[in-house]
Structure 1
Amino acid sequence: MVKRNEKYAIIVAGGAGVRMGGEIPKQFLPIGGLPVLMHTLNKFKAHDAAIHLILVLPESQFKYWEDLCEKHAFNVSHRLVEGGSSRFNSVKNGLNSIAEENGLVAIHDGVRPFVSEEVIQESFAEADLYGSAIAVVPLKDSIRKVDTNGISQFKNRDAFRLVQTPQTFQLKKIKAAFLSDEEPFFTDDATVYENMGWEVHLIAGNQENIKLTTPEDLDYANYLLNRK
């Protein structure tokens, strides 16, 4: 019998949520009666009940999160890991918490609760085959490149993609990539992986999988929940 690749998901939620306004970080704000993070964790657990979930939070938020879990009787098994000074370091801490070297790991923004189960499934399947699987969607709007003098130039949107998460990898390779020193051009996990000289493999994401950042995003989130 072929041994199953263990699956991990690192859910990164270290943001202060300043653009959302208010005192509560955006990952804890309620949509559909539950904090955003619980919706996100539920999506990955629904994909695979045996998945190992790792939630990366600032240590100062551990107690608040544990109180929320008790309040909502949230019993989805997960491990808490302390976040770092940047997203790069937060992901690195999450990876370092995994003792195993082999398996597959999805890295996902905690405030993207509307990733589809189909995208999660494909990300693991494709990463198993190609080493990486990065969810992307096509642009809907026209785009222009603006230089430092304010002069703009049309660009063909068909040549570009908007990058989402999950960004899923073979565990051994992404661990090796995160041994690098942090660089300013590491805007996501795919750029860290690509920095090793490895090709990034793209998969189709889902349009609803937005990153909740502003109050308007919360309104849209509640609309999506009510539509179901």
Structure 2
Amino acid sequence: MKKYAVIVAGGSGVRMNSKVPKQFLLLKGKPVLYYTIDAFLKAYEDIQIILVLPEEHVAAGQEVIDAFFDYTRIQITIGGRTRFHSVQNGLQLITEESMVFVHDAVRCLLSTELIHRCYDAAIEFGSAIPVTDCRDSVRILSNDGNEAIERDRVKLVQTPQTFHSKILLPAFFNIDYKDKFTDEATVVEAFGLKVTLVEGEERNIKITQPLDMEFAERLINI
């Protein structure tokens, strides 16, 4: 089946205390975005990348592609005002039945095994959402204060969130945006469909702060 990876790179450098957006920060001499794209291209020879970037960073994204990759396997589109709208813009380029990965550009440490695991589950169930266990104690806030909940019932959600196009595209193009849409799974659920959870990876971190870059530096060659 045809495969697409919609890589959403809408981050800024605010929490990194950097003028350079997170996806373009250098990690062992290469941009963070390089490792993310490379992981998908190595996972499947027939996968196509749709890179979603803010308009002001398109030129920087094109430079990464020109420097490291076969441009025929990657296309760029402009992001929207929210993640939902950015993903929606990327999905507009998919015109054939396919399996679609949606991934955060700054989760650059994902493995080939994780990509394959998500694909295999989505082939069987229509969707695959990678998650990891919660190790910390968890409390939920309410109008009356807060209360503890069982952490064994809590999962931490990652990407690539993977769906058959017949599920993902109708969900994104037939319902209106809501603030609760923090990822693709919430959109699909709002469309009335269930999602399937698969085992994620502890090292599949989302780079948001300087400490994350230090952690990624240590893990990148392990």
- Equivalent positions of 1:83-122 (< 5 A) are 83-100=79-96, 102-122=97-117
Say whether residues 1:136 and 2:122 are aligned partners: no
Give CA-to-partner distance per residue, 1:115-170, whole Å, 9 cap, x none: 12111001111111111100000001111123345x33111000110000010000
Partner of 2:212: 217
Decide which of 31, 54, 73 is 2:27's aligned counterpart. Answer: 31
Contact kept? 2:34, 2:64, Cα under 8 Å:
no
Partner SS state of residue 219, structure 1: helix
Give CA-to-partner distance per residue, 1:52-91, whole Å, 9 cap, x none: 1110001211112223444xx3124311011111100000
Query: What is the aligned-residue identity percentage?
Result: 43
Partner of 1:61: 57
Partner of 2:40: 44
Runs of 4+ in 1 over 4 A off after TM superposition: none
Partner of 2:160: 166
Contact kept? 2:2, 2:98, Cα under 8 Å:
yes
Contact kept? 2:109, 2:220, Cα under 8 Å:
no
Counterparts of 1:127 and 1:166 in 2: how far apart (Å)?
A: 11
Aligned length in residues: 219
Call closer, same or farther: CA 1:148–1:18 in 2, change over 3 Å: farther
Partner of 1:21: 17
Q: CA deviation at 1:210?
A: 0.7
Structure 1 residues not aligned, in runs of 5+: none
Question: Given the two structures, how large is their TM-score scaled by the length of structure 1?
Answer: 0.92
Partner of 1:176: 170
Structure 2 residues not aligned, in runs of 5+: none
Give CA-to-partner distance per residue, 1:170-225, whole Å, 9 cap, x none: 01210000011101111110010111211110000000001000001001010112
One-letter amino acid matched to 1:79: Q
Partner SS state of residue 9, structure 1: strand
Cα RMSD after superposing both structures: 1.2
